[in-house]
Homo-oligomer: A and B are copies of this chain.
Amino acid sequence: MNGAESLLRTLVGSGVEVCFGNPGTSEMHFVAALDRVEGMRTVLGLFEGVVTGMADGYGRMAEKPAATLLHLGPGLANGLANLHNARRAATPIVNIVGDHATYHAQYDAPLASDVRGFARPVSGWVHSSVSARTVAADGARAVQAALQYPGQIATLILPADTAWLEADHPAPALPKPLPATASAEAIDQAAVALKSGRKTMLLIRGAALKESGLNAAGRIAATSGARIACDTFAPRCQRGAGRVKVERVPYFAEQIVEFMKGTQQLILVGANPPVSFFAYPNKPSWCTPDDCKILHLAHVHEDGTAALEALADAVKAARDPAHIGSPGKPDIPAGPLNPQTAGQIIAHFLPDGAIISDEGATAGGGMHRFAANIAPHDHLALTGGAIGQGIPLATGAAVACPDRKVVCLHGDGGAMYTPQALWTQVRESLDVTTVIFANRSYAILNIELARVGAGEAGPKAFSMLDLHNPELDWVKLASGMGVEASRATSVEGFASQFASAMSNRGPRLIEVVL
């Protein structure tokens, strides 16, 4: 077998089941090997930002890495923004990036570039294979690196001749890295703190935002009165009726300060103290009260769920968690169609077990206020602030969870970054409903322009934030990629279209005109 086949067999043997890709000439031996090896599903994206965003969505839900297949430096470059988001989500991903044959590099052909340089800012692990004989072992190491707890991006650069030359055999899978255990001291200190009676917040990030971690947190809260919170942009959070409620840290600095006010002790579980998303003149970046004591119960590489469970035991927590969301979905609203009523409609119809890919930006908040009381669901946020994540993320999540409804909430500005993912949803018959909040602007920036103290927008400034001229027609855009699409201009219209999307399978897009 050649190097490409030895690598592919190694990836499959190491548990990688899906390859999201957009290959080129230098990846053709890897592509050809796909038909000789069982067990690797291939999903084509029409742009690399789609490919990497899908790998992120897949990894967050499957909790194991997908492979990406990318074409030299520029192919990787196109995927970097969503790899930035994936890095912030700590999603395990194995990038396979083709490159020129080792002996061809000296000629500086047009596509030659500093592939390692492109990879470094987003990758926890980067390696460029030097021989077909070592590619398989490099692949096994890449998978293990991607699984380094809690997950990271491993980029394996594959020169074309290391793919096409003769190799020996696949490499055995390496042991899956386990999370470290939080220190006994950290648990003791947190227990002492909780017993002090001071006002405490548990700030959680990572896998502990799933049900078992939240249950432990809820038990601690039942005994100690601690608040339970997560980042504004937690990678994945399990919410809904019957689950322990989590307060979401708000977005703007002064809101965070208000949110944190009175907190005397902040116990961190895989999280950092909340800071302002951007800096603003004369507004704080650091939002934790000065006199608040900060304790690290579990660092990011430690098992936060186990730490919470140990802490619950240490404080002799009640068996039943506090803050359980009671069932109670909202009614279908009346009145004009706006982010609030649209969110209420989404909350009403959301089916059990749905996955929400949330890049709703200024318009996405309408459903969150109901989140604790509606059908249990997973919420996936825009972790790194690089817009253009939502549609690819939803697509990858649907690949990982074919039996669950995926709902993508998206601002129109960000959705124009990676609309090509809609095409993949059709090709792969994925059950994704995309809701485009069409306010015809980068609405957040109109807010931010004032907040940063830059004054009123003149006509030129305004033209950089406004999407009215010309207006985007999302029904045409989506149907141009084969997605069934409709436009809603009233609550009745949106309720009917969204209800229909929830009760049928397959890709749908609804443009909510705001």
- What chain B residues lie within 8 Å of A364 (beta carbons)? none
Decide: B107 and A84 in contact? CB cutoff 8 A: no
Q: Which residue of B lies closest to A478 (CB)?
A: B480
Does A120 lie at the interface of the complex (its beta carbon under 8 Å from any beta carbon of B)?
Answer: yes
- What chain B residues lie within 8 Å of A454 (beta carbons)? 28-29, 31-32, 164
Decide: B78 and A449 in contact? CB cutoff 8 A: no
Partner-contacting stretch, out of A108-116, A142-150, A332-340: A108-116
- What chain B residues lie within 8 Å of A513 (beta carbons)? none
Decide: B164 and A470 in contact? CB cutoff 8 A: no
Q: Which residue of B lies closest to A287 (CB)?
A: B107
A273 to B463: give the CA distance in the assembly, Å. Answer: 46
Decide: B286 and A386 in contact? CB cutoff 8 A: no
Does A330 lie at the interface of the complex (its beta carbon under 8 Å from any beta carbon of B)?
Answer: no
The contact string, 1 if C-beta is below 8 Å from chain B, for chain A 270-313, is 00100111110100011000000000000000000000000000
Decide: B469 and A480 in contact? CB cutoff 8 A: no
Within 8 A of B (CB), among A342-362: none
A442 to B286: give the CA distance in the assembly, Å. Answer: 49
A410 to B49: give the CA distance in the assembly, Å. Answer: 20
A101 to B283: give the CA distance in the assembly, Å. Answer: 12
Decide: B480 and A474 in contact? CB cutoff 8 A: yes
Partner-contacting stretch, out of A212-220, A371-379, A393-401, A419-427: A419-427
- What chain B residues lie within 8 Å of A275 (beta carbons)? 104, 107, 109
A460 to chain B, nearest CB (A): 4
Decide: A100 and B481 in contact? CB cutoff 8 A: no
Q: Which residue of B lies closest to A459 (CB)?
A: B35
Q: Which residue of B lies closest to A87 (CB)?
A: B113
A21 to B160: give the CA distance in the assembly, Å. Answer: 36
- What chain B residues lie within 8 Å of A110 (beta carbons)? 88, 233, 277, 383-385
- The bracket for how many chain A residues form the interface is 35 or more
Decide: B78 and A452 in contact? CB cutoff 8 A: no
Within 8 A of B (CB), among A127-165: 160-161, 164
Within 8 A of B (CB), among A474-501: 474-477, 479-482
Known pairs A423-B472, A464-B23, A470-B423; A47 contacts B416 (CB<8 A): yes
The contact string, 1 if C-beta is below 8 Å from chain B, for chain A 60-101, is 000000000100111101101100110010000000000011
Known pairs A81-B77, A472-B423; A448 contacts B25 (CB<8 A): yes
Most buried by B among A161, A278, A453: A278
Decide: B121 and A388 in contact? CB cutoff 8 A: no
Decide: B111 and A121 in contact? CB cutoff 8 A: no
Does A457 lie at the interface of the complex (its beta carbon under 8 Å from any beta carbon of B)?
Answer: yes
Decide: B285 and A28 in contact? CB cutoff 8 A: no
Does A118 lie at the interface of the complex (its beta carbon under 8 Å from any beta carbon of B)?
Answer: yes
Known pairs A31-B454, A118-B121, A384-B111; A445 contacts B23 (CB<8 A): yes
Within 8 A of B (CB), among A414-466: 416-417, 420, 423, 426-427, 442, 444-445, 448-449, 451-455, 457-461, 463-465
Does A34 lie at the interface of the complex (its beta carbon under 8 Å from any beta carbon of B)?
Answer: yes
Within 8 A of B (CB), among A212-267: 233
A78 to B420: give the CA distance in the assembly, Å. Answer: 15
Decide: A279 and B427 in contact? CB cutoff 8 A: no
A233 to B73: give the CA distance in the assembly, Å. Answer: 18
A441 to B192: give the CA distance in the assembly, Å. Answer: 64
* 17 additional contacts (CB under 8 A) given A31-B449, A104-B279: A23-B464, A26-B279, A28-B452, A28-B454, A31-B465, A73-B84, A74-B384, A80-B80, A104-B285, A109-B276, A109-B278, A113-B384, A114-B120, A423-B470, A472-B481, A476-B479, A480-B480
Chain A to chain B: the 8 pairs with minimum beta-carbon distance, closest first? A35-B458, A470-B482, A74-B386, A476-B480, A32-B454, A101-B279, A104-B279, A77-B80
